[in-house]
Structure 1
């Protein structure tokens, strides 16, 4: 089968190669991939030259159901979140990480859901009861930010989003943000919950906006810049504040991805969640899309579609 293979070259991170069609284990289904999306974390892994086979978010059709009888049947259209190797004509996925797709949710839309959508959904849970509370989210122009803003607004939160450009900020307002600023220092605090995903100078600036007994959830470092945090400032700041690291698949959320994927699919199908897809193109353009995502020339998700062999 055709698959995208890391090259180790900065200007062209992946290229087409060949690989064996994977053999599913007992609790895995074999999926014919129709579309996949790219996450920024995958770009960093590829740039690091780890030899890791890329591809975590896929949508397609089950061509071989799991041998243990679990999960979707053969011929079922699905979306899945896999550990790796999803940028290929076929991929295997554990049945606990798969959700069935209704006829009115297409593969392109579904492929944009897994990692960003699951992260946003689990961030919402980690933030606790947010109805009527003030929330600040940095790095809101990415896939996670768009999903979180829409989900949190529907839950009754008053959201201030940090976005670098007015154009991207306008979309966040449409999704339910009360205000959009270009820098966390410009936000009108204090905030009960702060979600920080940029790192560098952004984290201490966002932390300074936290209300007494508030919570800051640190879930990313998109800037790739180290954080310098003066804990004397922290201790002199909001009384009883909590600073917590969050990862979408950590022990706090020790549960399979499938149920969350099913929730995201249902919300999307009902018109209550709107994946923000900044580019849709053939998977032959993957190397170019990776470069454009790295340089922030794409808003939201990028989805690549597979042509028939």
Structure 2
């Protein structure tokens, strides 16, 4: 059967989740806006779904304040349409694009993906694995690439003991799977309500952070991956082997100005004076790591832990639910 190839529409407007001031979900609403057009090296997507992640929350609230001076808008969001993770169908192609054709089903990163249409750079997209739904594909790029980079940074190998803090979250759910695929023995830290999800992803043990401080236990790990946590370095180092690796993923909490970035900077300094490796990183959603991640999907090493979906009109609610800890694994905004 021949697939139906969409024809680029002459439609000039679209529905989008728009936010014109920093703040909570009450400032995000569905609106009719001008539809984008692709420039050189860009493609126009008919958005099918978009992922929900902590980065979207930071841009919605403008917190920590440092992101405003980094080019995202001092008084209001420079990009009024939220969303970065995306899956959809190519319906328009800009000059110089060679990797995609009309009708291709893709996933990756786009500008303002909480909308009926979005623009993405060619080098930030890959073809969607056939076994994934659009909603599943939409929650893979940002969190999946970050998790992949974290596991690589930790140098996880077969037989190692690995601790994952934030194991039930978006990035953590992928880290657990990738570490298990590498042959590691994984212990996840999560709430009791989300423990079953973490076990289903391959963790051998799950510790409820609300009742047990893992750093007080008589345990030792070859690698610790701390996703968005606030546990002091000195405590994490107590359960890290003398030559183990601690990878700090993200920078939640902290002060209003810089958030949790101070802990990351401190880890780099302390690492200079110990045999332990204490590090952090910045992951970039791009075609090369996305292709590697897609191959892991096809091989069966990892799957999106999609547990909730929201319609486009409830995009703000989805972000609020994520920030409040009401989402296990990943959530998607389904556009079509």
In structure 2, what is the Cα distance between the partners aligned to 1:56 and 1:138?
24
TM-score w.r.t. the length of structure 1 is 0.86
Unaligned stretches of 5+ residues in structure 2? 1-13, 63-74
In structure 1, what is the Cα distance between the partners aligned to 2:196 and 2:152?
26
* 1:29/1:95 contact within 8 Å kept: yes
Deviations 1:229-265 (A, max 9, x none): 9x8xx97xx951122122213xxxxxx7113223333
* 2:51/2:86 contact within 8 Å kept: yes
Equivalent residues, number: 295
SS of structure 2 residue aligned to 1:12:
helix
Counterpart for residue 243 of structure 1: 278
Deviations 1:73-101 (A, max 9, x none): 1110110213x312111111111111112
* 1:201/1:228 contact within 8 Å kept: no
Deviations 1:46-75 (A, max 9, x none): 112641432110000001134214221111
Q: Select the structure with the greater relative contact order (CA < 8 A; seq sep ≥ 6).
A: 2
TM-score w.r.t. the length of structure 2 is 0.80
- Is residue 2:221 matched to residue 1:191? yes
1:1-309 correspondence runs (5 A): 1-8=14-21, 9-48=23-62, 50-53=76-79, 54-82=82-110, 84-163=111-190, 165-181=191-207, 182=209, 183-201=213-231, 203-224=233-254, 239-249=274-284, 257-307=286-336
* 2:166/2:172 contact within 8 Å kept: yes
Unaligned stretches of 5+ residues in structure 1? 250-255
Task: Return closer, same or farther for 1:20/1:72 CA change in 2, 3 Å cut-off.
Answer: same
SS of structure 1 residue aligned to 2:202:
coil
* 1:45/1:52 contact within 8 Å kept: no
RMSD: 2.5
In structure 2, what is the Cα distance between the partners aligned to 1:211 and 1:198?
21
Quick check: 210-219 or 144-153, which moved more? Answer: 210-219
